[in-house]
Amino acid sequence: MPTPASLNRRRFAQLSVLAMAATRLPAQTPPMKRVGYAAVGLGRICDIFMRGCAQSEHAKVTGLVTGHPAEKGPKYGGLYNVPEKSIYTYQTFDRIRDNSEIEAVYIGLPNSMHCEYTVRAAEAGKHVLCEKPMAISSAECRRMIDACRHANVRLMIAYRIHYDPTFARMAALIRSGAIGQVQACDGAFPGYERKGEWRLDRKLAGGGSLFDLGVYPINTIRFLLGEDPIAYTGMVATRDMSGRFAEMEQSVVWTMKFPSGILADCSSSYGQSGENFVRVRGDKGFLQVTAAYSYEGLHLTGKTLQGDIDEPAPGKLPFQFVLEADHFAGCVRNHSTPRTPGEEGLKDLIAIESIYKAAGAPLA
Ligand code: NAD
């Protein structure tokens, strides 16, 4: 007899296969033909992305870009078989133009550096997979889109949830009418940042937690609804007066209204503990994902017209990064547009700017 856990694993595997089929790649690409990424930044997220590439059947790490080549060059070069000639610094970055092993870059730098390195990569003729938030202003997003279009290279923003089977399942249930007509959403991403982190430095981060954490509920709710917000309210506040929040607010709450009339109620913070989640409420039921923006442990629950839902996701870190790296590899090979192109990142930056404006804390 199959158990609920084994059924979940099977459904999850089927959804992963469907996600891969959408990339129009063969089940496995021979190692020589896999899309070669240069990881740029070599901090925490690059480390995870490279682990994802190592598990991928379509992508590989072929270049490294770091400010610490003596320390990180041998470490990651050894792990991923990247020769010394393919290790670059920020000063020598533009020379990736002459390296045919590097077809794409993965940008895992502080937010304010995304625009510069996207434009430079495009000018070097390389495709760009850029971390979220896409940039620190909508003007920068437009510059990045234009640069990639002009250079005829693909641009994708690394929104993991768009490639995750749990969210594919949630979106399909909502679209099937399983919770009736959608009325409202809520989502939160509380977190904690220590003094000295670049995330608390406005020049590097662009603003507060809304950029790094709040972008998840914004983007996820837009993804689940297939609509973009038309009106916003917002409030920001700081209770920790230790100096940690000298350059930005500690917490933000905001609401969004969508063209259909659906309302969303969200929050993010760099000084709160608690679970991150997203919930969609219909007039006949609801669905929610807890640990929604975590790397693993996502859990879909809810009440639908077909009965209760209780589906813990079996995927383990770095499975979302494998799916993401593979999707973009497919776009590079097939000259197709990613499911999360630069225009997706731009929409979220417009939302972030609108929320800060509504909160009376405009960015510029
Ligand atoms: P990190 O601090 O771990 O890494 C940043 C890297 O950039 C470091 O290796 C650092 O040496 C390098 N760097 C180069 N110039 C720098 C400068 N002037 N100041 C500071 N660092 C500099 O950060 P991270 O957590 O890897 O985040 C990097 C990007 O990835 C951010 O845009 C972040 O929002 C995004 N991110 C995405 C996810 C996701 O799940 N998709 C998760 C975490 C972070």
Which of ligand 1's atoms lies nearest the C-alpha of 111? 32
Residue bearing the CA closest to ligand 1, atom 20:
198
Longest Cα separation, the chain: 61
**CA dihedral of residues 132, 19, 303, 290 (deg, nearest 10):** -30
Residue bearing the CA closest to ligand 1, atom 12:
41
If you measure from the C-alpha of residue 344 to the centroid of ligand 1, how many angstroms do you get, rounded to a whole number?
Answer: 20
Query: Any idea which residues carry the catalytic annotation?
Result: 132, 216
Pocket probe for ligand 1: among 44, 134, 194, 324, the residue whose CB has the most ligand atoms within 8 Å is 44
List the pLDDT tens digit at each of the 364 positions of the chain.
Answer: 455 555 566 665 665 555 555 566 788 898 889 999 999 999 999 999 999 999 999 999 999 999 999 999 999 999 999 999 999 999 999 999 999 999 999 999 999 999 999 999 999 999 999 999 999 999 999 999 999 999 999 999 999 999 999 999 999 999 999 999 999 999 999 999 999 999 999 999 999 999 999 999 999 999 999 999 999 999 999 999 999 999 999 999 999 999 999 999 999 999 999 999 999 999 999 999 999 999 999 999 999 999 999 999 999 999 999 999 999 999 999 999 999 999 999 999 999 999 999 999 988 6
If you measure from the C-alpha of residue 197 to the centroid of ligand 1, how many angstroms do you get, rounded to a whole number?
Answer: 10
Residue bearing the CA closest to ligand 1, atom 2:
43
DSSP symbol at 90: T
Which of ligand 1's atoms lies nearest the C-alpha of 114? 32
DSSP symbol at 341: B
If you measure from the C-alpha of residue 70 to the centroid of ligand 1, how many angstroms do you get, rounded to a whole number?
Answer: 19
The pLDDT score that the predictor gives to residue 1 is 47
If you measure from the C-alpha of residue 249 to the centroid of ligand 1, how many angstroms do you get, rounded to a whole number?
Answer: 20
Element (H or E) spanning 139, and its range?
Answer: helix 138-151
314 — phi, psi (to 5°)?
Answer: -80, -10
Helix (H, G, I), strand (E, B) or coil at 106: strand
If you measure from the C-alpha of residue 68 to the centroid of ligand 1, how many angstroms do you get, rounded to a whole number?
Answer: 14
The pLDDT score that the predictor gives to residue 23 is 64
Pocket probe for ligand 1: among 118, 131, 160, 199, the residue whose CB has the most ligand atoms within 8 Å is 131
Measured CA to CA in angstroms, residue 20 lies from 170, 240, 252 at distances of 18, 45, 36
Neighbours of 33 (CB within 10 A): 11
If you measure from the C-alpha of residue 66 to the centroid of ligand 1, how many angstroms do you get, rounded to a whole number?
Answer: 11
Residue ranges around ligand 1 (CB below 6 Å): 41-45, 67, 108-111, 131-132, 158, 160, 198, 204, 212
